[in-house]
Amino acid sequence: APRSVLLPAGVSVLLLDIEGTTTPISFVKEVLFPHIKDNVKSYLREHWDEEECRDDVRLLRKQAEEDADHDGAVPIPCCSENRHDVDKEIQAVVDNVLWQISKDRKTTALKQLQGHMWKAAFTNGPIKGEVYDDVVPSIKKFREAGLKVYIYSSGSVEAQKLLFGYSIEGDLLALFDGHFDTTSGAKVESDSYKRIASDIGCLPENILFLTDIIKEAKAAEEAGTHVCVVVRPGNADLTDDEKLNYSIIKSFHEPHRSEE
């Protein structure tokens, strides 16, 4: 029989993580991020003269100047009209982006370019957002039961909307009442969950947060939020203590109201 977890009394809001919760970690690691590495050069060549791309490059150049003292940092030379020099400049931007990725940097400049590249990939169709099979039917059921559903991910709200707006199951944005990212605070800080509750207009104890990351679960619990830890293929293994301390679910079908 399928396992089930009773939704705690008073819960009126579901707050969902993405990576490892609604969406396989492999999609992020093996599709989204490699897309940047594999396509950054062709993307820059295609969009080089557009204002958005010029702005991305300006930001990357400014970041490169700040990074000048870093070991192995890659400088980006200043603009030129000469086509040969433009190729050299594009190559410098590519090398800088690949260097930042190799160092797992999370700079605003890199995030901005990635966001624009993902937007092009989702809207033009080479990439579709992956969601687990149980996600859409379960969320529809939760909504029918009167629950509100929000996303909280370290990926920007814009990136979240691309993933769900251009998903393998079509446009899913109508399933969500809103989106939160790290502008609400880090997911490992308990104040972030209080802030989100206040933005939604409820109490932390009205929220059930689903995540695969124990540190996030701990922070949410400290804020008074209810938590379920999601176990999916490819997620980090939980210790025996963690399995005892948290409600564990393997699918969104498991949490339900007592009257069902």
Question: What tokens does 8 get?
Answer: 């705690």
Mean pLDDT of the chain: 93
Q: What is the pLDDT of residues 137-184, one digit of tens each?
A: 999 999 999 999 999 998 889 999 999 999 999 999 999 999 999 999
pLDDT of residue 190: 98
Query: Given 3-state DSSP classes, what are the helix, strand and coil percentages for the chain, each rounded to the nearest 5?
Result: 50, 15, 35
Backbone angles phi, psi at 46, to 5 degrees: -70, -35
Is 260 a residue whose pLDDT tops 60? no
Query: 81 pLDDT band (50/70/90 cuts)?
Result: low
**Local structure of residue 247 (DSSP, 8 states):** E
For residue 33, pLDDT beyond 80: yes
C-alpha dist (Å) from residue 10 to 6, 48, 64, 149, 207: 12, 53, 50, 15, 8
Token output for 90:
């594009």
Model-level pTM? Answer: 0.87
Task: Determine the Cα–Cα distance for residues 163 and 156; give it in Å rounded to an integer.
Answer: 11
**How confident is the model at residue 254, as a pLDDT?**
85
Q: Tell me which amino acid residue 98 is.
A: L
Cα dist from 76 to 62, 72, 179, whole Å: 9, 13, 35
Pick the closest to residue 206 from 5, 16, 9 (CA basis).
9
Tell me the percentage of the chain whose pLDDT exceeds 90. 82
pLDDT for res 3? 54
Contact 15/225 with Cβ under 8 angstroms? yes
- Average pLDDT (93-112) is 92
Task: Give SS3 for 99.
Answer: helix
Q: How many CB atoms lie within 10 A of CB 182?
A: 16
Q: Decide if pLDDT at 242 tops 90.
A: yes
- Distance, in Å, from the CA atom of 254 to the CA atom of 136, rounded to the nearest integer, reads 14
In the chain, the largest separation of any two C-alpha atoms, in whole Å, equals 71
Span between the terminal Cα atoms of the chain, in Å? 15
